[in-house]
Structure 1
Amino acid sequence: MNLENPTSPESATPYQLRNLLVAIAAIVLTAALFFGFQVQQSGTSLDAVAAAALPIDVALANNKPTTIEFYADWCTSCQSMAADNLSLEKEYSDRMNFVMLNVDNTKWLPEMTKYRVDGIPRFIFLDPANKAIGDSTGAIPREIMAANIEAAIADRPLPYNSTSSDRISPVTETQAADISQPRDHGKKF
Protein backbone atom coordinates (compact mmCIF):
# COMPACT_ATOMS: atom_id res chain seq x y z
CA MET A 1 0.00 0.00 0.00
CA ASN A 2 1.37 3.42 -1.01
CA LEU A 3 1.19 5.90 1.90
CA GLU A 4 1.95 8.92 -0.32
CA ASN A 5 -1.13 8.53 -2.50
CA PRO A 6 -2.20 12.06 -3.64
CA THR A 7 -5.83 11.02 -3.72
CA SER A 8 -5.99 10.10 -0.06
CA PRO A 9 -8.47 12.11 2.04
CA GLU A 10 -5.73 13.83 4.06
CA SER A 11 -3.86 15.24 0.98
CA ALA A 12 -6.97 16.18 -1.03
CA THR A 13 -8.28 18.64 1.58
CA PRO A 14 -5.67 21.44 1.02
CA TYR A 15 -6.11 21.21 -2.77
CA GLN A 16 -9.89 21.25 -2.49
CA LEU A 17 -9.74 24.27 -0.17
CA ARG A 18 -7.45 26.14 -2.58
CA ASN A 19 -9.69 25.30 -5.56
CA LEU A 20 -12.76 26.39 -3.61
CA LEU A 21 -11.14 29.74 -2.78
CA VAL A 22 -10.13 30.26 -6.42
CA ALA A 23 -13.69 29.47 -7.56
CA ILE A 24 -15.20 31.89 -5.00
CA ALA A 25 -12.75 34.64 -6.03
CA ALA A 26 -13.65 34.09 -9.70
CA ILE A 27 -17.37 34.33 -8.94
CA VAL A 28 -16.90 37.52 -6.90
CA LEU A 29 -14.78 39.14 -9.64
CA THR A 30 -17.27 38.15 -12.33
CA ALA A 31 -20.15 39.63 -10.31
CA ALA A 32 -18.16 42.83 -9.67
CA LEU A 33 -17.40 43.23 -13.37
CA PHE A 34 -21.00 42.55 -14.35
CA PHE A 35 -22.44 45.07 -11.88
CA GLY A 36 -19.69 47.56 -12.70
CA PHE A 37 -20.64 47.48 -16.38
CA GLN A 38 -24.33 47.81 -15.50
CA VAL A 39 -23.66 50.94 -13.42
CA GLN A 40 -21.43 52.40 -16.13
CA GLN A 41 -24.02 51.76 -18.85
CA SER A 42 -26.88 53.23 -16.83
CA GLY A 43 -25.10 56.62 -16.64
CA THR A 44 -25.83 59.39 -19.09
CA SER A 45 -23.87 58.97 -22.29
CA LEU A 46 -22.56 61.61 -24.66
CA ASP A 47 -24.83 60.07 -27.30
CA ALA A 48 -27.87 60.94 -25.15
CA VAL A 49 -26.69 64.52 -24.74
CA ALA A 50 -25.94 64.83 -28.46
CA ALA A 51 -29.37 63.41 -29.31
CA ALA A 52 -31.03 66.11 -27.20
CA ALA A 53 -28.95 68.89 -28.80
CA LEU A 54 -30.05 70.99 -31.76
CA PRO A 55 -28.36 70.97 -35.16
CA ILE A 56 -26.13 74.03 -35.43
CA ASP A 57 -28.01 75.52 -38.41
CA VAL A 58 -31.32 75.40 -36.49
CA ALA A 59 -29.74 76.94 -33.39
CA LEU A 60 -28.15 79.80 -35.33
CA ALA A 61 -31.45 80.66 -37.01
CA ASN A 62 -33.89 80.85 -34.09
CA ASN A 63 -32.78 84.07 -32.32
CA LYS A 64 -32.02 82.45 -28.96
CA PRO A 65 -28.64 82.43 -27.22
CA THR A 66 -26.62 79.31 -27.96
CA THR A 67 -24.11 77.12 -26.17
CA ILE A 68 -21.88 75.11 -28.50
CA GLU A 69 -20.01 72.19 -26.95
CA PHE A 70 -17.05 70.73 -28.80
CA TYR A 71 -16.51 67.17 -27.57
CA ALA A 72 -15.24 63.69 -28.46
CA ASP A 73 -16.44 60.24 -27.45
CA TRP A 74 -12.97 59.38 -26.07
CA CYS A 75 -12.82 62.50 -23.86
CA THR A 76 -13.19 61.46 -20.22
CA SER A 77 -13.90 65.04 -19.12
CA CYS A 78 -16.69 65.25 -21.71
CA GLN A 79 -18.11 61.96 -20.43
CA SER A 80 -17.94 63.09 -16.81
CA MET A 81 -20.02 66.19 -17.64
CA ALA A 82 -22.65 64.36 -19.73
CA ALA A 83 -25.26 63.97 -16.97
CA ASP A 84 -24.96 67.61 -15.86
CA ASN A 85 -25.07 68.88 -19.44
CA LEU A 86 -28.17 66.82 -20.22
CA SER A 87 -29.93 68.17 -17.13
CA LEU A 88 -28.96 71.74 -18.13
CA GLU A 89 -30.32 71.13 -21.64
CA LYS A 90 -33.61 69.90 -20.22
CA GLU A 91 -33.85 72.81 -17.78
CA TYR A 92 -32.99 75.64 -20.18
CA SER A 93 -33.79 74.36 -23.69
CA ASP A 94 -36.89 76.53 -23.94
CA ARG A 95 -34.69 79.68 -23.63
CA MET A 96 -31.26 78.50 -24.82
CA ASN A 97 -29.98 76.45 -27.74
CA PHE A 98 -27.60 73.59 -27.02
CA VAL A 99 -25.39 72.35 -29.86
CA MET A 100 -22.84 69.54 -29.72
CA LEU A 101 -20.07 69.21 -32.31
CA ASN A 102 -17.81 66.16 -32.31
CA VAL A 103 -14.20 67.22 -32.98
CA ASP A 104 -13.48 63.85 -34.58
CA ASN A 105 -15.85 64.74 -37.43
CA THR A 106 -13.91 66.78 -40.00
CA LYS A 107 -17.20 68.38 -41.01
CA TRP A 108 -16.76 70.71 -38.01
CA LEU A 109 -13.21 71.89 -38.86
CA PRO A 110 -14.40 75.38 -39.91
CA GLU A 111 -16.16 75.83 -36.54
CA MET A 112 -13.17 74.39 -34.67
CA THR A 113 -10.91 76.90 -36.43
CA LYS A 114 -13.31 79.82 -35.95
CA TYR A 115 -13.60 79.22 -32.19
CA ARG A 116 -9.93 78.16 -31.76
CA VAL A 117 -10.70 74.77 -30.27
CA ASP A 118 -7.49 73.31 -28.90
CA GLY A 119 -8.89 71.42 -25.93
CA ILE A 120 -12.17 69.72 -25.08
CA PRO A 121 -14.72 69.96 -23.75
CA ARG A 122 -14.88 73.50 -25.14
CA PHE A 123 -18.01 75.59 -24.66
CA ILE A 124 -18.74 78.67 -26.75
CA PHE A 125 -21.56 80.97 -25.64
CA LEU A 126 -23.32 83.00 -28.35
CA ASP A 127 -25.85 85.81 -27.97
CA PRO A 128 -29.13 85.74 -29.98
CA ALA A 129 -27.33 87.47 -32.87
CA ASN A 130 -24.76 84.60 -32.89
CA LYS A 131 -21.92 86.79 -31.60
CA ALA A 132 -19.49 84.99 -29.27
CA ILE A 133 -19.90 86.36 -25.75
CA GLY A 134 -17.79 83.89 -23.79
CA ASP A 135 -16.16 80.50 -23.55
CA SER A 136 -15.13 77.78 -21.13
CA THR A 137 -12.72 74.92 -21.58
CA GLY A 138 -12.40 71.69 -19.62
CA ALA A 139 -14.61 69.99 -17.05
CA ILE A 140 -16.63 72.88 -15.67
CA PRO A 141 -18.85 72.42 -12.59
CA ARG A 142 -22.60 72.45 -13.20
CA GLU A 143 -23.09 75.59 -11.07
CA ILE A 144 -20.65 77.59 -13.20
CA MET A 145 -22.25 76.37 -16.44
CA ALA A 146 -25.72 77.22 -15.10
CA ALA A 147 -24.60 80.72 -14.07
CA ASN A 148 -23.17 81.35 -17.56
CA ILE A 149 -26.31 80.00 -19.23
CA GLU A 150 -28.58 82.15 -17.06
CA ALA A 151 -26.46 85.25 -17.79
CA ALA A 152 -26.58 84.56 -21.55
CA ILE A 153 -30.36 84.15 -21.40
CA ALA A 154 -30.71 87.43 -19.45
CA ASP A 155 -28.35 89.20 -21.90
CA ARG A 156 -25.86 89.97 -19.10
CA PRO A 157 -22.07 89.50 -19.13
CA LEU A 158 -21.07 85.95 -18.28
CA PRO A 159 -19.89 85.70 -14.67
CA TYR A 160 -17.38 82.97 -15.56
CA ASN A 161 -16.13 84.11 -18.94
CA SER A 162 -13.04 82.42 -20.41
CA THR A 163 -12.89 79.88 -17.62
CA SER A 164 -10.65 76.88 -17.92
CA SER A 165 -10.17 73.81 -15.76
CA ASP A 166 -7.18 71.52 -15.49
CA ARG A 167 -9.25 68.64 -16.89
CA ILE A 168 -8.82 69.27 -20.61
CA SER A 169 -8.26 66.78 -23.40
CA PRO A 170 -5.96 68.34 -26.01
CA VAL A 171 -7.09 68.42 -29.62
CA THR A 172 -4.47 68.36 -32.35
CA GLU A 173 -4.95 69.38 -35.94
CA THR A 174 -5.53 66.64 -38.44
CA GLN A 175 -2.30 66.17 -40.36
CA ALA A 176 -2.20 65.68 -44.12
CA ALA A 177 -1.23 62.18 -45.15
CA ASP A 178 2.38 61.65 -46.25
CA ILE A 179 2.04 60.75 -49.92
CA SER A 180 5.75 60.31 -50.64
CA GLN A 181 6.77 56.87 -51.79
CA PRO A 182 9.55 54.91 -50.06
CA ARG A 183 11.50 54.55 -53.33
CA ASP A 184 11.41 58.27 -54.17
CA HIS A 185 14.79 58.77 -52.43
CA GLY A 186 14.44 62.53 -52.57
CA LYS A 187 13.79 62.78 -56.32
CA LYS A 188 12.45 66.12 -57.43
CA PHE A 189 9.74 65.94 -60.05
Structure 2
Amino acid sequence: MESESKVFFKSKNPIFILALIIVGLISVLFIFKNILFESSLALKSYGKISMDPEIAFNNTKPTFLEFYAEWCEVCKEMAPKIIESKNKYQNDINFVFLDVDNPKWEKYIKQFNVNGIPQMVFLDNNFKTRASLIGFKDEILINNALDKLLDSKQELDIIPVSKFSKIQNHPKDTIKPRSHS
Protein backbone atom coordinates (compact mmCIF):
# COMPACT_ATOMS: atom_id res chain seq x y z
CA MET A 1 0.00 0.00 0.00
CA GLU A 2 2.82 2.38 0.91
CA SER A 3 4.60 1.79 -2.37
CA GLU A 4 1.37 2.59 -4.25
CA SER A 5 1.14 6.02 -2.56
CA LYS A 6 4.79 6.78 -3.42
CA VAL A 7 4.09 5.91 -7.05
CA PHE A 8 0.97 8.12 -6.98
CA PHE A 9 2.88 11.15 -5.64
CA LYS A 10 5.80 10.60 -8.01
CA SER A 11 3.49 10.51 -11.00
CA LYS A 12 1.57 13.61 -9.82
CA ASN A 13 4.64 15.54 -8.73
CA PRO A 14 5.40 17.14 -12.15
CA ILE A 15 1.79 18.29 -12.47
CA PHE A 16 1.84 19.69 -8.94
CA ILE A 17 5.09 21.53 -9.65
CA LEU A 18 3.69 22.89 -12.92
CA ALA A 19 0.56 24.07 -11.09
CA LEU A 20 2.70 25.85 -8.49
CA ILE A 21 4.71 27.54 -11.23
CA ILE A 22 1.54 28.71 -12.98
CA VAL A 23 0.07 30.06 -9.73
CA GLY A 24 3.37 31.84 -9.01
CA LEU A 25 3.49 33.44 -12.47
CA ILE A 26 -0.12 34.58 -12.22
CA SER A 27 0.61 36.12 -8.81
CA VAL A 28 3.65 38.00 -10.15
CA LEU A 29 1.69 39.26 -13.17
CA PHE A 30 -1.18 40.39 -10.93
CA ILE A 31 1.19 42.33 -8.66
CA PHE A 32 3.00 43.90 -11.66
CA LYS A 33 -0.35 44.85 -13.25
CA ASN A 34 -1.48 46.54 -10.04
CA ILE A 35 1.74 48.55 -9.82
CA LEU A 36 1.35 49.72 -13.43
CA PHE A 37 -2.34 50.44 -12.88
CA GLU A 38 -1.54 52.54 -9.78
CA SER A 39 1.03 54.57 -11.73
CA SER A 40 -1.38 55.17 -14.62
CA LEU A 41 -4.14 56.21 -12.22
CA ALA A 42 -1.81 58.61 -10.43
CA LEU A 43 -0.79 60.23 -13.71
CA LYS A 44 -4.41 60.55 -14.86
CA SER A 45 -5.22 62.39 -11.62
CA TYR A 46 -2.70 65.16 -12.41
CA GLY A 47 -5.32 67.24 -14.23
CA LYS A 48 -7.63 67.13 -11.21
CA ILE A 49 -5.02 67.98 -8.59
CA SER A 50 -3.17 70.65 -10.57
CA MET A 51 -3.42 74.29 -9.64
CA ASP A 52 -4.29 76.58 -12.54
CA PRO A 53 -0.97 77.98 -13.82
CA GLU A 54 -2.23 81.59 -13.93
CA ILE A 55 -3.15 81.42 -10.25
CA ALA A 56 0.12 79.71 -9.31
CA PHE A 57 2.27 82.17 -11.25
CA ASN A 58 0.57 85.17 -9.64
CA ASN A 59 0.67 84.33 -5.96
CA THR A 60 3.48 84.54 -3.41
CA LYS A 61 4.35 80.83 -3.19
CA PRO A 62 7.10 79.09 -5.14
CA THR A 63 5.88 76.69 -7.84
CA PHE A 64 6.70 73.15 -8.92
CA LEU A 65 5.71 72.83 -12.59
CA GLU A 66 5.72 69.46 -14.35
CA PHE A 67 5.17 68.84 -18.05
CA TYR A 68 3.99 65.29 -18.71
CA ALA A 69 1.96 63.08 -21.09
CA GLU A 70 -0.29 60.13 -20.32
CA TRP A 71 1.66 57.92 -22.76
CA CYS A 72 5.02 58.68 -21.12
CA GLU A 73 6.29 55.60 -19.25
CA VAL A 74 8.76 57.63 -17.17
CA CYS A 75 5.94 60.01 -16.18
CA LYS A 76 3.79 57.04 -15.13
CA GLU A 77 6.65 55.62 -13.09
CA MET A 78 7.23 58.90 -11.24
CA ALA A 79 3.59 59.96 -10.74
CA PRO A 80 2.84 58.21 -7.41
CA LYS A 81 5.96 59.70 -5.79
CA ILE A 82 5.28 63.17 -7.23
CA ILE A 83 1.78 63.02 -5.72
CA GLU A 84 3.31 62.05 -2.35
CA SER A 85 5.60 65.09 -2.62
CA LYS A 86 2.63 67.29 -3.51
CA ASN A 87 0.76 66.08 -0.44
CA LYS A 88 3.80 66.84 1.72
CA TYR A 89 4.51 70.35 0.35
CA GLN A 90 1.13 71.59 -0.93
CA ASN A 91 0.70 74.17 1.86
CA ASP A 92 3.96 75.91 0.92
CA ILE A 93 4.44 75.24 -2.80
CA ASN A 94 2.08 75.47 -5.79
CA PHE A 95 1.92 72.28 -7.87
CA VAL A 96 1.07 72.69 -11.55
CA PHE A 97 0.87 69.74 -13.96
CA LEU A 98 0.55 70.43 -17.69
CA ASP A 99 -0.14 67.72 -20.28
CA VAL A 100 1.99 68.43 -23.36
CA ASP A 101 -0.72 66.92 -25.57
CA ASN A 102 -3.23 69.59 -24.55
CA PRO A 103 -3.08 72.57 -26.96
CA LYS A 104 -4.23 74.80 -24.10
CA TRP A 105 -0.70 74.65 -22.62
CA GLU A 106 1.24 75.39 -25.83
CA LYS A 107 2.37 78.83 -24.64
CA TYR A 108 3.94 77.31 -21.51
CA ILE A 109 5.58 74.52 -23.52
CA LYS A 110 7.29 77.20 -25.62
CA GLN A 111 7.98 79.53 -22.70
CA PHE A 112 9.78 76.83 -20.72
CA ASN A 113 11.43 75.30 -23.82
CA VAL A 114 10.04 71.81 -23.16
CA ASN A 115 11.75 69.23 -25.35
CA GLY A 116 11.52 66.11 -23.18
CA ILE A 117 9.21 64.78 -20.52
CA PRO A 118 8.84 64.64 -17.70
CA GLN A 119 10.26 68.13 -17.36
CA MET A 120 10.08 69.67 -13.91
CA VAL A 121 10.58 73.40 -13.42
CA PHE A 122 11.18 74.89 -9.97
CA LEU A 123 10.05 78.53 -9.82
CA ASP A 124 10.65 80.83 -6.87
CA ASN A 125 7.98 83.16 -5.50
CA ASN A 126 9.11 85.85 -8.00
CA PHE A 127 8.46 83.47 -10.92
CA LYS A 128 12.20 83.06 -11.54
CA THR A 129 13.33 79.61 -12.68
CA ARG A 130 15.62 78.14 -10.02
CA ALA A 131 16.08 74.77 -11.76
CA SER A 132 14.71 72.72 -14.63
CA LEU A 133 15.06 68.94 -14.63
CA ILE A 134 14.35 66.56 -17.48
CA GLY A 135 13.83 62.84 -17.12
CA PHE A 136 13.48 60.37 -14.29
CA LYS A 137 14.34 61.73 -10.86
CA ASP A 138 13.82 59.88 -7.60
CA GLU A 139 11.65 61.11 -4.75
CA ILE A 140 14.60 62.04 -2.52
CA LEU A 141 16.14 64.28 -5.17
CA ILE A 142 12.82 66.01 -5.88
CA ASN A 143 12.05 66.54 -2.19
CA ASN A 144 15.56 67.94 -1.62
CA ALA A 145 15.01 70.37 -4.50
CA LEU A 146 11.61 71.35 -3.05
CA ASP A 147 13.23 71.98 0.36
CA LYS A 148 15.84 74.20 -1.29
CA LEU A 149 13.12 75.98 -3.29
CA LEU A 150 11.51 76.98 0.00
CA ASP A 151 14.83 78.38 1.22
CA SER A 152 15.53 81.14 -1.29
CA LYS A 153 19.15 81.38 -0.11
CA GLN A 154 20.03 77.82 -1.13
CA GLU A 155 21.09 77.03 -4.66
CA LEU A 156 19.40 74.13 -6.41
CA ASP A 157 21.92 71.63 -7.67
CA ILE A 158 22.32 71.13 -11.39
CA ILE A 159 21.24 67.57 -12.12
CA PRO A 160 22.05 65.91 -15.44
CA VAL A 161 19.29 64.85 -17.78
CA SER A 162 18.31 61.21 -17.35
CA LYS A 163 15.83 58.76 -18.88
CA PHE A 164 13.01 60.73 -20.55
CA SER A 165 10.56 60.75 -23.45
CA LYS A 166 11.39 62.95 -26.44
CA ILE A 167 8.94 65.48 -27.78
CA GLN A 168 8.96 66.18 -31.49
CA ASN A 169 7.11 69.06 -33.08
CA HIS A 170 4.25 68.35 -35.39
CA PRO A 171 4.90 69.60 -38.96
CA LYS A 172 2.23 72.29 -38.52
CA ASP A 173 3.79 73.25 -35.14
CA THR A 174 0.63 72.34 -33.29
CA ILE A 175 0.42 70.32 -30.13
CA LYS A 176 -0.38 66.72 -31.02
CA PRO A 177 0.54 63.39 -29.49
CA ARG A 178 4.27 63.10 -29.76
CA SER A 179 6.57 60.22 -30.53
CA HIS A 180 7.79 58.16 -27.61
CA SER A 181 11.30 56.82 -27.30
Instruction: Answer with 140-149 or 87-96: which moved more.
Output: 140-149
* Superposed displacement of residue 27, structure 1: 7.2
Aligned to 1:16: none
- Aligned residues of 1:124 and 1:132 also touching (Cα < 8 A): yes
Task: State the Cα deviation string for residues 76-123 of structure 1 (Å, max 9, x = none).
Answer: 111111111011100001000110011111221111111111111111
Distance 1:141 1:130 in 2: 24
Pick one of 167, 170, 175 that aligns with 2:171. Answer: 175
Q: How does 1:159-170 map to 2 (within 5 A)?
A: 159-161=156-158, 163-170=159-166
Q: CA deviation at 1:23?
A: 9.0
Whether the 8 Å CA contact 2:69–2:100 is kept in 1: the answer is yes
1:96 paired with 2:75, answer no
TM-score normalised over the length of structure 1: 0.72
Report the Cα distance in structure 2 between the residues aligned to 1:49 and 1:120, rounded to whole angstroms. 14
Selected match of 2:121 from 111, 124, 128:
124
Q: Quick check: 2:67–2:119 contact (8 Å CA) kept in 1?
A: yes
Aligned ranges for residues 68-107 of structure 1 at < 5 Å? 68-107=65-104
Pair 49,156 (structure 1): closer, same or farther in 2 beyond 3 Å: farther
* Structure 1 range deviating more: 140-149 or 48-57: 48-57
Instruction: Tell me the equivalent position of 1:145.
Output: 142
Q: Which moved more, 1:27-36 or 1:142-151?
A: 27-36
3-state DSSP class of the match of 2:98? strand
Which residue number corresponds to residue 153 of structure 2?
156
Confirm or deny: 8 A CA contact 1:103 1:112 kept in the other structure.
Answer: yes
TM-score, normalization by structure 2? 0.74
**Alignment coverage as a number of residue pairs:** 161
Question: Which has the larger share of helix?
Answer: 2
> How far, CA to CA, are the matches of 1:28 and 1:150 in structure 2?
42
Closer, same or farther in 2 for the Cα pair 1:141/1:26, shift >3 Å?
Answer: closer
CA–CA distance in 2 between the matches of 1:142 and 1:29? 30
Question: Separation in 2 of the partners of 1:97 and 1:151?
Answer: 15
Matched residue, 1:65:
62
Max radius of gyration: which structure?
1
Q: CA deviation at 1:48?
A: 2.6
Unaligned runs of 5+ in 2: 1-15, 174-181
CA RMSD in angstroms comes to 2.7
- Are the counterparts in 2 of residues 140 and 165 from structure 1 also a CA contact under 8 Å? no
- The aligned counterpart of 1:47 is 44
Q: CA deviation at 1:28?
A: 6.8
